[in-house]
Every structure is written in structure tokens, then in C-alpha cells.
Amino acid sequence: MKKALITGITGQDGSYLTELLIEKGYEVHGIVRRISTFNTKRIDYLFHSRHYNKKFFTHYGDLTDPNSINRLVLEIKPDEIYNLAAQSHVKVSFEIPNYTSQVDALGSLYVLEAVRNCCPECKVYQASTSEMFGGIKGEIPKEGYDENIPFHPRSPYGVSKLFGYWITRNYREAYDIFGSNGILFNHESPRRGETFVTRKITKWCGDYLANPWETPPLQLGNLNAYRDWGHAKDFVRAMWMILQAPQADDWVVSTGETYTVKDFVEKCFDWMGKEIHWEGEGINEVGIVDDKKVVSVNPKYFRPTEVDFLLGNSRKIREELGWKPEYSFKNLVEDMMENDSKNRE
């Protein structure tokens, strides 16, 4: 039986990946950071499920503590490690750049060092990100960002992840470690954190369905930011496929379609059977439904340096590994809206 170790197991991707690996017969171990409040909501049901609990184990550890990572890798001796743990909120990374760098950059180094010293045959998946590309207007490749496009990160999060990307490549070349980077574009789900824009929108829509005239307007930042949004279930399947490849490599994972934040809002209102129209421009732009202002722009959500446009070109993983997304943009919105509208109508 294969053993997998997942950092960041309590997150959106970690929970879906755990389900996938157990279905494939793995024994799954996850690292949980010990804090004063429980943060295991996404995986709690696994402890009580007869189907999952016999193959699922958690351990206290912290990606900023190399000793704990070394200890766990030595004890578990996993066949595969999925390094998903991160401070992954881009806007927050500007406010806590030091902590973001410790987790996202040095954390990836600690994982690789633990593998080199304790379990050199272990395969390592490093969660890289489309934020490394930067998405600057005027520099957008016609067919989208692929594995050969130069990086230009525009946040402490993107810069820290770029270190993780390069240190993974370096250990692959220097020590022959099977270390692969998955350069994942935006992926969402009902398990997405509520401070991320997509979940913030669908959660607000659930409140709006319950009390349309008492719900204050939804406040958003850049309505015109383009993102290549997919479903987390599709993307964790790509993670697993990346570690089953014959050789370690770097892979872009994306849907190949891009939509604005405003498009996402409109799809949510379509799902609710409402038509939203827009008035004003820039920070004065508002969304109107039934003569009521439902969306407004708040500059506090702007980033110091904005990523204008992200579109991924995932031809390589589609042709070489046979991956393709099963969820469309419409399916993604429907899944999130159905979840956040339960028991609120």
C-alpha cells in the first residue's frame, strides 16, 4: 500500500486530495498545525467515516519548523509528498510578507531537505501557482501562460512561491530527487475559504437569497481582473497524475478559459434567476438588481500591484498525461451556489 504525506491537509485542496488518494488505495498522512482553535473542519468527517478512517492519519507539525518535518518524513517514510501548505491569500501576503516567505518559500526547502536526508526515493509534488506569471497587461501571451513563459510575480505570495518552484527544480537537478511543480491556475470549490473572492461572492449570494432587502451590498475590489477558474476536484486529480508521470517535470494546470470577477458575479445572479446591470465606472461602479445596489467597489481590497490577466495553456499535461477538466465554469459556479444557498432560502 502506497503512503502519501500531505502538508496543508486541512485546506480545500488537501481535503479533496485525501479523498482521491484513499479511493486509490493509499494510506494518507496529513500534517496539522497545532493552534488554540480547531482548524480541521474540512477533514473532520474523515475521522468518523468507516470508509476513510482506517487509512487516514494526522500528525502535528509546522512547515516553518524543519525538525518537525524531518521527524515526520523519517517516521512515515512516504512514497509521495504533496506540499500544499501555504499562506495562500495574495492580498494578505502584502500585510505579512515575512510569514508568507517563511511558509511558502523556506517551507518548501525544508520538505526537500527532509526527503534528501531521510527518504530520497520519495516523490515530491510542489504546489506552484499562476501568480508567479504576474499577468501584466501588454505582456499577455496569445495562447496563455505555459511552462516556457518567464515569470514576473507581483506579490510576496508569488515571489515566495517562485522560490519554492526553483528550489524544487534545483533539488531535482542536483540530487536527482523526483520533485515536480504543478503550476496551478485558480481553482475553487464549496470548500474554498470565505475570504477568497469566489467564495465571498457565493456566500454573500446565499445570504441575499434568504434576506434580499436586508443584506448589505457585496463589497469587492477589482471587478475587471481576469482569472482562469477551475474546480479543485479536477486540479487535485492533476496533482496525483503529475507524480505518476515517468519523470519529474513542471506542469501548467488550467482550464484554458478566463473570466472577470464581474463575470463570476453575473453567473451567480443568473443561477438565482436575477439579472444584474452595472452603473458607473472605476471605484464608483455598482451592480443593481431590482432597483437595489447589491455590489459596490471598495478600494481597500485593491492590491498594491495587481495581476490583471491570467490564462493558462495546459496543452502539455493534456497531451502527455491525459488530464482534462471535467467541470466547466458554469458547473463550478453551480456547485458553489448550491452549497452556499442550502438552508437559506
- Kindly list the catalytic residues: 129, 131, 157
* Distance (Å, whole) CA 193 – CA 297: 21
Cell numbers of 152, please? 514576473
DSSP 133: T
Q: How far is CA 158 from the centre of its chain?
A: 13
Question: By the 8 A CB rule, do 145 and 138 touch?
Answer: no
Which whole-number Å values give the CA distances from 341 to 218, 276, 286, 313, in the listed order?
16, 18, 23, 33
Q: Cα torsion at 60, 109, 229, 155 (round to 10°)?
A: 110
* Distance (Å, whole) CA 26 – CA 243: 14
Q: Decide the pairing of beta strands 179-184 and 250-253.
A: parallel
* Distance (Å, whole) CA 23 – CA 35: 30
Helix axes 197-210, 329-341, angle to 10 degrees: 50
Q: Is the dihedral of CA 185, 87, 238, 110 positive or negative?
A: positive
Question: By the 8 A CB rule, do 130 and 310 touch?
Answer: yes
